[in-house]
Amino acid sequence: MITFIPTPIGNRGDITLRALESLKEADLVACEDTRHSRPLLKHYEIDQKLISLHDHNEQQRIPELIEKAQQGQHIAIISDAGTPLISDPGYRLMQACIAEEIPYTVLPGPSAVITALAGSGFPCHAFSFDGFLPVKKGKRRKALEAAIASARTSLFFESPHRLLSTLEILTDIQPDLRVCVARELSKKFETYHRDTASTLWAYFNERPAKGEIVLLLDPS
């Protein structure tokens, strides 16, 4: 059995009882960064063997993990925060589980995407999530134009260092577009900034953003 387990996106108290049970029962925990995950497990008095599973080694790790699962071991898969596979490692392993007919399950739990969508106050009946925005301005502008043209709520992960540039692009495209900058979700300094693209551009121009950010657009 391979279990894909969501972990807290900021507040350690958000982990589920089922996630803790699965981590305690696992023979091996594959995590994005052992240095990040070890303190989380230690906090809950879980002392399991950890190995790394990230974008750069996932393909090489798959045969080892599949073999261990075939031998009857219970493998837990976690990322640094939130649900594995969602802009995090795990997709290629999931495909291998399906191809090799390895039993697997995905536990419900924390997700920055759903948290930001619900907290934004933007329409939730139809939305899209497109991961991290492109680094290059030209590609970023095309992605934002496509999101606006979709006429549904669109979500992206964005770096605080590029947020101002992205808001400038949005202001150039449609200055009155409704935008929400959801920052540091579930943490002590969680904030939701909702306003027009031009107003938020001016705001963050004077107050540089910090922390982890979900950017939401409401072209409806």
How do residues 3-56 score in pLDDT, each as one tens digit?
Answer: 999 999 999 999 999 999 999 999 999 999 999 999 999 999 999 999 999 989
Q: What is the CATH number of the domain that holds 204?
A: 3.30.950.10
The answer to whether 14 and 27 have CB atoms below 8 angstroms apart is no
Last residue of a domain, one of 63, 89, 106: 106
Whether residue 82 sits in one domain with residue 162: no
Whether residue 55 sits in one domain with residue 73: yes
Whether residue 135 sits in one domain with residue 190: yes
Note the Cα 31 to chain centre separation in Å. Answer: 14
Q: Which domain holds residue 14?
A: 2-106
Q: What is the CATH number of the domain that holds 92?
A: 3.40.1010.10
Q: What does the mean pLDDT of the chain come to?
A: 96
Q: Each residue of 106-141: b (16+ CB within 10 Å) or e?
A: bbebbbbbbbbbebbebeeeebebbeebbeeeeebb
Using the predicted structure, report yes or no on whether residue 174 has a pLDDT greater than 90. yes
Whether residue 62 sits in one domain with residue 116: no
Whether residue 101 sits in one domain with residue 116: no
Whose tokens are 């399906």? That residue is 98
Whether residue 49 sits in one domain with residue 24: yes
> What is the C-alpha separation between 85 and 22, in angstroms, rounded?
18
Whether residue 145 sits in one domain with residue 192: yes
User: Per the structure block, which two tokens stand in for 144?
Assistant: 């934002």
Last residue of a domain, one of 61, 89, 106: 106
Q: Considering its fold, how many domains does the chain have in total?
A: 2
89: exposed, middle or buried (C-beta count within 10 Å: 0-12, 13-18, 19+)? buried
Identify the pLDDT of residue 87.
87
pLDDT band at 152 (very low <50, low <70, confident <90, very high): very high
Using the predicted structure, report yes or no on whether residue 212 has a pLDDT greater than 90. yes
Whether residue 159 sits in one domain with residue 124: yes
> What is the C-alpha separation between 45 and 38, in angstroms, rounded?
10
> What is the C-alpha separation between 41 and 17, in angstroms, rounded?
13
pTM, to two decimals = 0.91
Radius of gyration of the chain (CA): 19
pLDDT tens column, 69-106: 999 999 999 999 999 999 889 999 999 999 999 999 99
Whether residue 84 sits in one domain with residue 26: yes
Last residue of a domain, one of 106, 134, 155: 106
Whether residue 70 sits in one domain with residue 24: yes
> What is the C-alpha separation between 124 and 150, in angstroms, rounded?
14
What is the percent of the chain with per-residue pLDDT over 90, rounded to a whole number?
98
Whether residue 88 sits in one domain with residue 162: no
Whether residue 24 sits in one domain with residue 118: no
Rounding to the nearest 10 degrees, give the CA dihedral for residues 91, 41, 101, 83.
-30
68: exposed, middle or buried (C-beta count within 10 Å: 0-12, 13-18, 19+)? middle
Mean local confidence (pLDDT), 134-148:
97
